[in-house]
Structure 1
Amino acid sequence: MRSYEISKGDIYATVEEGKVLKMTGTGIFVFADLHQGEYRARANVGRPLGMRLSSDGTTLLVIHSSLGLFSISLLDGSVSRLLPVDENIQPTFFDDFDVLANGTVILSEVSTKHTIKQLIHEILEGRPNGRLISVNPVSGGWHTMLDGLDLPNGVQLHSDNQSVLVAETRKMRILRVSLNSGNVSVFADGLPGQPDNIRPSPRGGYWVPVSLLRDTLTSKLLIWLGTWPRLRGALMKIIQSIPIHIDLDTNSAMLLRLNDEGQIIEVWKDPKGLVRNVAEVCEHGDNLYTSSFYLPFIGKLSMTKE
């Protein structure tokens, strides 16, 4: 489960098989399936990732890495595609998004070269192939706000409503981009691990999960490989010629709450690795709910229990 939203006590989550699940007090149900009908042909190269609840609370918005942006009615589960509206913008590896008050969608594309199924290729290539895109879903007009990003991931409108935050995962930092001038500044740098989705906290600030912590063997290996481009190239050729499955699942997880200036003000750790590789954090009441790129469940952490 990668991303989720809570509405009227029910939890909605995106899963790898292309479905959106609905979890209620009576069970778990398939609420919508994005890999049906006309979209089935490209379904095998992607999956649904980021999810948002519309401002009026009647619709789920879901980004699919290779198909674009969808809306799902909470009334009947009906699905409609919002992006792309034409052939001028075609997803390669869309990841996360946020929606401005005027309806503009700001979304991250991890790579314009590799799909999500080729994530290890993107990592080994070590080049900044990502970008941040602004799209008008009504007219179809779009432009690249920022390119040359290194594995851009989570996207979140800043509380000032004048800038947007984007996680640059490989560089273990979060950038802040002005919506008016396009100026870019570093919001949070030197994070203890690789950041994923960014979501607001009702107490102020933003929740950012980080995985592949700097002190883990996997993280150290990736940093070391970054200094050997020829070795990375050789590994890519091996992976391309031999069907090897490689994932970056580690037992490291840390949940950070940052303030509006990007300073860390709260930290939760999971030394036992029960909710490893957390992709998103949602604060609801006295609990933190976590999703993972690898784990088939949503974690629940009470902030009031020792």
Structure 2
Amino acid sequence: MGAVLGTGRVGTLTRVALTVVVFLLLLPTHALAAAVAKDTSATLVETLPLPTTLVGPESVAFDKYGDGPYSGVSDGRILRWDGADKGWTTYSHAPGYNVAKCMAPKLHPAELTESKCGRPLGLRFHNTSGNLYIADAYKGLMRVGPRGGEATVLATEADGVPFRFTNGVDVNQVTGDVYFTDSSTRFPRSQHEMVTATGDSTGRLMKYDPTTGYLDVLQSGMTYPNGLALSADRSHLVVALTGPCKLVRHWIEGPKAGTSEPFAELPGYPDNVRPDGKGGYWVALHREKTESPYGSDSHLLAVRLGRNGRIVQQLRGPKNVRPTEVIERGGGKLYLGSVELGHVAVVKAAT
């Protein structure tokens, strides 16, 4: 027989407590997560400034020795940070890269310059081989060996449909398989605003087998697929959908293999997704959904999610910082990539 609620003060408190519990249970998962997420601010540790005139270190990667960061920049090169004394040095570039034309001041529209010089976005190393895989917005999926130099183009189309906006990439460190996104088959990177404005849903998620060279379209008809990350157990991919402000989970192993499902609703527009080293993910937010030009001087830079998709931490910082990637390294340092700024920022989450 169940307990009977009492009357008076104790009964009232019990009913209030039950009401709160029921209310929380009825909240959507993302709302409940946001309600209990730890709110932290970013404290700047240092900046890694790019050479003059260069901007846009969109993605940040470290090699198997921990060297770096490496990042692709606005003139089409991939640079490596070699410490404060040497700064950034050239590591790689696309085939046909012309130093004089690509490093000169930009006198032409971005699409004309980038289509010739390349615009590297997502970067991931395969630790066993030392190869760096590059999602170049205009050149397609590329790879460069552990000594750097000129990259090799691996794929520029899938099922006869050319890539228009190659964007995010991740590597299965066990099998060597490479997963990447093409954000749109209609609009190039220089028209990325149109992908969101039109609700374009021609994006694709793909897998490249480096052993056979076979390319497989895992899912098509996606709305602005951007960054992605392989789960810690390698059973699924978490993919950011920028326009819809969502994450989806695409299963690659187990009984659900080949299917996708919602993973998280986000309070802003996501870019890259990176593992947090604890089974969850850091998701960079380029801006908030309902950002106001008035009021607070800070906004959400990123959120950290648990392995179940619940937001467990919100990282805030100044509104002039619009990160495209957050990667956590030793000592709690967070490296922030940016498609707009002239440096990589290194911050810590203040308690």
**TM-score strictly above 0.5:** yes
| Aligned twin of 1:5 | 61
Tell me how far 1:43 sits from its aligned partner: 6.0
- What per-residue deviation string (whole Å, max 9, x for no partner) do you get for residues 19-77 of structure 1? 11111122221222226359x99863351100001122622221101212222233353
**Inter-partner Cα distance in structure 1 for 2:146 and 2:208:** 24
Question: 8 Å contact 2:164–2:184 — kept in the other structure?
Answer: yes
Q: Distance in 2 between matches of 1:72 and 1:116?
A: 22
Which amino acid in the other structure matches residue 62 of structure 2? I
Distance 1:302 1:91, change over 3 A: same
Contact persistence 1:251–1:277 (CA under 8 A): no
Match of 1:167 in 2: 240
Which of residues 295, 299, 303 in structure 1 aligns to 2:341?
Answer: 295
Of the candidates 94, 99, 112, which is equivalent to residue 166 of structure 2?
Answer: 94
Partner of 1:254: 301
**Mapping for residues 117-266 of structure 1, pairs under 5 Å:** 117-180=190-253, 181-189=257-265, 191-217=266-292, 252-266=299-313
The alignment status of 1:44 with 2:114, answered yes or no, reads yes
User: 1:17 maps to what in 2?
Assistant: 75
What's the secondary structure of 2:80's corresponding residue?
strand
Summarize deviations over 1:270-294 as a string: whole Å, max 9, x none.
1x224x2211011011211101111
Aligned mates of 2:158, 2:271 — CA distance in 1:
29
Quick one: percent identity of the two aligned structures? 26
- Secondary structure of the corresponding residue to residue 44 of structure 1: helix
Once residues 129 and 48 of structure 1 are traced to their aligned partners in structure 2, the CA distance between those partners, rounded to angstroms, is 21
What letter corresponds to residue 10 of structure 1 in structure 2? G
Match of 1:58 in 2: 130
- One-letter identity of the residue aligned with 2:348: S
**CA gap 1:103/1:150 in 2 versus in 1, 3 angstroms:** same
Distance 1:206 1:183, change over 3 A: same
Instruction: State whether residues 298 and 316 of structure 2, in contact with CA within 8 Å, keep that contact through their aligned partners in structure 1.
Output: no
State the structure with bigger RCO (CA 8 A, min sep 6), 1 or 2.
2
Question: 2 CA distance for matches of 1:85 and 1:114?
Answer: 15
Any conservation in 1 of the 2:287–2:301 contact (CA below 8 Å)? no
Secondary structure of 2:303's counterpart equals: strand
The aligned amino acid for 1:29 is T
Any stretches of 5+ residues in structure 1 without a counterpart? Answer: 219-249
Aligned pair in 2 of structure 1 residues 252, 36: CA closer, same or farther (>3 Å)?
A: farther
- Normalized against structure 1, the TM-score is what? 0.79
Q: Would the aligned equivalents of 1:175 and 1:186 in 2 still touch at CA under 8 Å?
A: yes
State the alpha-carbon separation in 2 of the partners of residues 74 and 50 from structure 1: 17
Distance in 2 of aligned mates of 1:67 and 1:269: 34
Q: Does 1:280 align with 2:325?
A: yes
Tell me which amino acid in the other structure corresponds to 1:184: S
SS in 2 for 1:128: coil
CA distance in structure 2 between the aligned counterparts of 1:113 and 1:292, rounded to whole angstroms: 24
Kindly tell me the number of residue pairs found equivalent between the two proteins.
270
Give the Cα–Cα distance (whole angstroms) in 2 for the partners of residues 70 and 165 of structure 1.
22
Deviation of 1:217 (Å):
4.8
SS at match of 1:56: coil
How much has 1:203 moved relative to structure 2?
3.1
Q: CA deviation at 1:144?
A: 2.2
Q: Distance in 1 between matches of 2:162 and 2:203?
A: 14
2:159 and 2:309 map into 1 onto residues whose CA distance is 37
1:55-114 Cα shifts (integer Å, max 9, x gaps): 226222211012122222333535323324999463211111222332332211110111
Residues 10, 120 of structure 1: CA spacing in aligned structure 2 closer, same or farther, 3 A cutoff? closer
Do the aligned partners of residues 251 and 150 (structure 1) sit closer, same or farther apart at CA in structure 2, a change above 3 Å counting?
farther
| Distance in 1 (alpha carbons) for counterparts of 2:261 and 2:316 | 28
C-alpha change, 1:126 and 1:86, in structure 2 (3 Å) is: closer
For the aligned residue pairs, the C-alpha RMSD in angstroms reads 2.7
Consecutive unaligned residues of structure 2, counting only runs of 5 or more, are 1-56, 103-110
State the AA in 2 paired with 1:257: R
Q: Cα 1:35–1:216, aligned 2, differ >3 Å: closer, same or farther?
A: farther
The answer to whether the 8 Å contact 1:111/1:151 transfers is yes
Quote the Cα distance in structure 1 between the aligned partners of 2:211 and 2:264: 33
The one-letter code sitting in structure 1 at the alignment partner of 2:340 is: Y
- The normalised TM-score by structure 2 is 0.70
- How far does residue 148 in structure 1 lie from its aligned partner after superposition? 1.8
| Preserved CA contact (<8 Å) 1:83 1:137 | no
